[in-house]
Copies of this chain bind each other. A is one copy, B any other.
């Protein structure tokens, strides 16, 4: 067990992680306001403002829940709320695997479509698995943006397949994508899509956002058992009746959310999507020039680039030295590919210019 207990002083670093990412100063400062009651009119004002602003930003009429939790809580909640028995999980990296493990730990029967890390989930494989199943599935779960491999899975194409299976819910983990990679939630037919706010929303961590279709809401209401904390019904009924949350929420983070959502609405979702495309294109070009790209061609993420370490640099040492000399933090590869790859998060407040500052620093330290 780690024995450290004296939290010290730390210099400020610019974050190019695949989340958490940089947060504007006025968004951070919004957290300092004195607390108020979670059953007050002020809370109703705050919560309805952030929920309705989120619907505007995401361009959806579906219901929105802002829950005090990490986005990964919705792995559990969507399973408990939508899966009676059987679920199909598309696994093409660490987070797809994890989602499948969560459903298994919750006692569900889980079938997996497995891919080598770096490869993307293919709609045809989902169709084949659905056709091959005698009993069918209560839900299909896909990670939109595999943060571990930098793969952006074709959730639109998978949605087109699932449109032919109305009894099967479509659950999308969009944790490191939503807000930086436009998705037309209703056109794609997604029943539940969720994110964590410390990624492309560029807020401090601690809140999760989930968008729920009417079908998903009805499915949960018909089920004999469901989640309580992440229960759609419970969250949505409280919102409809009182404009509040069922439990005391993380009020300071919601104050930050409100401030940042104003910035996001000002920029606009499509413009934000365009800026993320630009950053992704710049980073990929840089990676191709100096290293390689880990993800399957054509499926590269718009918010995190996973660079293949074709030059055999010492990834850990490079990260350490860039942090020491430039106060910039990027990420090693995930788990088993820790030294074979490294990851640059380009999301939220970043721009091509700020990402270029990092790639310059890496070039300098790695002697490129």
Interface residues of A (CB under 8 A from B): 1-8, 10, 12-13, 15, 17, 19-23, 28-29, 31-38, 40, 42, 44-46, 48-49, 52-53, 68-73, 75-76, 80, 101-102, 105-107, 196, 198, 204-207, 224-229, 231, 239-240, 242-243, 246-253, 256, 258, 329, 331
Contact = CB atoms under 8 A, between A and B. Distances in A.
A45 B105 contact: no
Contact of A36 (B10, B42, B53, B250): B10
Interface secondary structure of A, over-half rule = loop
Given A1-B240, A35-B198, A229 B69 contact: yes
Q: Which 6 pairs, one residue from A and one from B, show the smallest C-beta to C-beta distance?
A: A206-B250, A2-B243, A107-B225, A70-B247, A102-B228, A31-B31
A15 B42 contact: no
Number of copies: 2
A246 B250 CA distance: 19
A105 B22 CA distance: 39
A67 B331 CA distance: 24
A348 B1 CA distance: 31
A44 B2 contact: yes
Nearest to A74: B229
A85 to B, nearest CB: 13
A329 B35 CA distance: 12
A33 B13 CA distance: 11
A205 to B, nearest CB: 5
9 contacts: A2-B243, A4-B49, A5-B49, A8-B45, A13-B36, A15-B35, A23-B34, A72-B229, A80-B106
Given A69-B229, A248-B198, A251-B204, A3 B48 contact: yes
B12 A34 contact: yes
Contacts of A102: 228
Given A31-B31, A68-B68, A206-B206, A73 B229 contact: yes
A75 B207 CA distance: 19
Contacts of A70: 68, 229, 247-249
Given A20-B38, A198-B35, A228-B106, A204 B7 contact: no
Given A20-B35, A196-B248, A228-B102, A48 B2 contact: yes
A4 B253 contact: no
Contacts of A106: 80, 225-228
B250 A204 contact: yes
B7 A49 contact: yes
A264 to B, nearest CB: 15
Given A31-B31, A36-B329, 8 more contacts: A6-B49, A20-B37, A69-B229, A75-B228, A198-B248, A206-B253, A252-B252, A252-B256
Nearest to A332: B39
